[in-house]
Amino acid sequence: MGMELNFPLMILGFALLLHISLVNLDIGLGVFAPLLEWLSHKRGDKDLERVAKELTKYLLAIYGSACAMGIVVSVMLLVFYPEFVRLVGLVLFWPFTLAAVFIFVRVLTVPVYYFTWGRVKLETHLSIGFIMALTGFMVAAMFRVVFSFTNFPQGLTITRQGLEVDVARVFMNPTLPPLLLHSCLGALSTTGFLVAGIYSYRLLKSLGEEKNKKWFSKAVKIGVLTGLLFLFPQGVAGAWYLISLSDVSKTMFYAVTGVLLQINKVALPPNLVWLFTAKILMVMYLTTAGILSIHFHNGNKGVDKQRTYLSVLLAPFSIATLAIGEAINEVAHLPYIAVPIIKMQDAANPFIKVNLDFFIASIAALTAVTLLILKMMSLSLKEEQI
């Protein structure tokens, strides 16, 4: 693969990682907010309601950029790899159509949930919230069908007459159930740790203020518990995913584990064992720091600064773990874009020559977008702006 083809891939990879990180938080916050709202009313707990309302603000901040980055990724795929888009458009009609319908509902329910807080009956508001949560998972499910197809193109037969597609077999891809389960659990655990990290930081910043200590601590505890609760089954689902790859997508299995099973006449991806090891180390940190944080925040014993610093780091570490996991999954496809039917270079736009200047300009623009997103998220953390 020539250098010219690597640049588009790196730009696309940057945008995809940003999008997937935002989408996971979007899915997680979309579940947390209505669930905490429901719990707060059930228990009559005003602190929980406050956390739920704040999380809805974060959700609003994240959802717009997640959607926008989704369109960015789609258009980048279209201009850099038009043949791939044509192929998946032909083959994956139903996943894309259903995804479009679920995105449609999801995009509308997020602002409706935010703007109707306290203005409609509780039952109505919760119903909107749970539809929002459900559609978040359904969008993820449909895109994981697309991802699983790129792992192993089950359901596609190429004949002399053209392409034949067996829709049922596309949806029954053996890598789909573990990948989907792993992703959904990952979205929830990452969001939990992110919430824990953000509220730990706010707790440290307002150590002298008694008024916020109680509900900040409660938010940390909820975040850590949720993060840990979903982290362990996520690990099991991850192992299941690896086993499924060893069966049907041996090149991807090689990329993750470095173990070369029997492979005939296919190009090998880079060995990513070092990256996978880094991910495992980060998961170990999340587990240890999470357990320490639970112990500390159980009760009103005051704030232990050292342990709170540990839980602040849960936020960046959980996002980094997520990003590394997604990066491994994507890079493991190389040199294919859909293993083993279409290579990156065969799908590339023949009219685009991406040089170094173009690459730097694109990465600078994406970095600016990332910084703006962070600024926007920090603005959403401020109180009483609305």
Partner 1 sequence: MGLDGVLFISGFVAEAYFFFASMVVGFTFLLFIFETLYRFKGDLVYAEATETMAKSLFLFFSFSLAFGAFSLFGLIVVWPVLTKLIGMVLFYPLYVGVFLFPIESIFLVMYWFTWGELKGSKLHIAMSFVLLICSVSLVALMTSVNSFMHTPAGVRFVNGRVEADLWAAFLNPGALVSVLHVVPACFASTSFLCSGVYAFKALRGGEKGRYTRVYKVLILISFTLMIVQVGTGQLLIRTVARFNPEKFAAIEGVWETGSQGVISFLIYGDWDKPILGLKDFPPKNRPPQFLHHVFYLKLILAGYLLVLGLAASLFVLRRGNVPITLLKSSIPTVFAAPIVQSLGWFVREVGRKPWTVYKLLKVEEAMSVTFKLSSSVISLLVVILSASILAFFYAAHRVLIEG
Q: Which residues bind partner 1 (CB under 8 A)?
A: 15, 57, 60-61, 64-65, 67-72, 74-76, 78-79, 82-83, 85-86, 88-93, 96-97, 99-101, 103-105, 107-108, 110-112, 115, 162-163, 165, 349-352, 365-366, 368-369, 372-373, 375-376, 379-380, 382, 384-386
Q: Which is nearer to partner 1, 89 or 316 (CB)?
A: 89
Kind plus residue range of the DSSP H or E element containing 142: helix 122-151
Cα(253)–Cα(248) distance, integer angstroms = 9
Cα(62)–Cα(24) distance, integer angstroms = 10
Q: How far is the CB of 99 from partner 1 (least distance, A)?
A: 6
Q: How far is the CB of 118 from partner 1 (least distance, A)?
A: 14
Q: How far is the CB of 286 from partner 1 (least distance, A)?
A: 28
Q: How far is the CB of 270 from partner 1 (least distance, A)?
A: 27
* Long-range pairs of 265-272 with CB within 8 A, sequence gap ≥ 24: 266/339, 266/340, 267/335, 267/336, 267/343, 269/331, 269/332, 269/333, 269/334, 269/335, 270/331, 270/334, 272/328, 272/331, 272/332
Q: How far is the CB of 234 from partner 1 (least distance, A)?
A: 28
Residue 154 exposed, middle or buried by CB count within 10 Å (0-12, 13-18, 19+): middle
Q: Which is nearer to partner 1, 134 or 313 (CB)?
A: 134
Cα(248)–Cα(229) distance, integer angstroms = 30
Q: Which is nearer to partner 1, 247 or 346 (CB)?
A: 346
Q: Which is nearer to partner 1, 85 or 331 (CB)?
A: 85
Q: Which is nearer to partner 1, 52 or 107 (CB)?
A: 107
Question: Residue 259 — left, alpha, or beta (φ > 0 → left; ψ -120 to 50 → alpha)?
Answer: beta
Angle at 133 between CA 131 and CA 134, to 5 degrees: 65
CA distances from 185 to 154, 228, 356 (A): 25, 11, 38
Q: How far is the CB of 380 from partner 1 (least distance, A)?
A: 6
Q: Which is nearer to partner 1, 185 or 373 (CB)?
A: 373
Which of the 8 DSSP states describes residue 126? H
Q: How far is the CB of 221 from partner 1 (least distance, A)?
A: 27
Cα(234)–Cα(346) distance, integer angstroms = 35
Q: Which is nearer to partner 1, 67 or 256 (CB)?
A: 67
